[in-house]
């Protein structure tokens, strides 16, 4: 079962992913991203390997190197050594591959793109969030090649979360 989710920033995509991971009877691996906030202001994004617990910086306003995207610079080293590596590891060791998110920052890495493509083509279950406005070929593939694709909204967030949990639980081997 391949499931894609999109929605406006702040609608709860990462929260949905965390709730699903906590509820499904599947060994989960992959990566999630979260905001880094200082004094109530977003200054960057962190990246987390779900299987190992390893964390790094995906992008930050104070980085001096890396591709620039708006106010941020992307940390390609952590994106590849933590994010892409987490997806690659999950493809080998887990039943559910989680990728949160496929967005403009993550798409700066060819290794990340290849890892997501392998996840789409694998037999593993997949839960992937994708930036709502991306025109990248990989975003297109996620929107059109997943078994189910959801557009998350505040009003439907809980309902969609429960539906995804039910879909993945029904398709688990256990």
The structure's pTM equals: 0.95
Cis peptide before 91 (omega within 30 of 0): no
Q: Cα separation of 12 and 8, whole Å? A: 9
Which residue segments constitute the domains of the chain, with CATH numbers given?
Answer: 2-169 (3.40.50.300)
Per-residue pLDDT of the chain (174 residues), as tens digits, is 999 999 998 899 999 999 999 999 999 999 999 999 999 999 999 999 999 999 999 999 999 999 999 999 999 999 999 999 999 999 999 999 999 999 999 999 999 999 999 999 999 999 999 999 888 999 999 999 999 999 999 999 999 999 999 999 997 755
């Amino acid at each position: 079962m391949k499931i894609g989710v999109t929605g406006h920033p702040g609608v709860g995509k990462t929260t949905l992913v965390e709730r699903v991971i906590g509820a499904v009877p599947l060994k989960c691996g992959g990566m999630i991203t979260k905001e880094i906030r200082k004094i109530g202001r977003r200054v960057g994004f962190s990246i987390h390997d779900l299987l190992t617990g390893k964390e790094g910086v995906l992008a930050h306003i104070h980085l001096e190197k890396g591709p620039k995207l708006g106010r941020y610079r992307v940390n390609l080293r952590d994106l590849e050594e933590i994010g892409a590596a987490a997806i690659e590891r999950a493809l080998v060791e887990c039943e559910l591959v989680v990728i949160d998110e496929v967005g403009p920052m993550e798409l700066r890495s060819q290794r990340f793109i290849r890892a997501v493509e392998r996840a789409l083509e694998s037999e593993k279950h997949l839960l992937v969030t994708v930036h709502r406005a991306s025109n990248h070929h990989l975003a297109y593939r996620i929107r059109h090649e997943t078994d189910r694709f959801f557009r998350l909204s505040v009003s439907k967030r809980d309902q969609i979360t429960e539906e995804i949990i039910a879909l993945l639980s029904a398709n688990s081997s256990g």
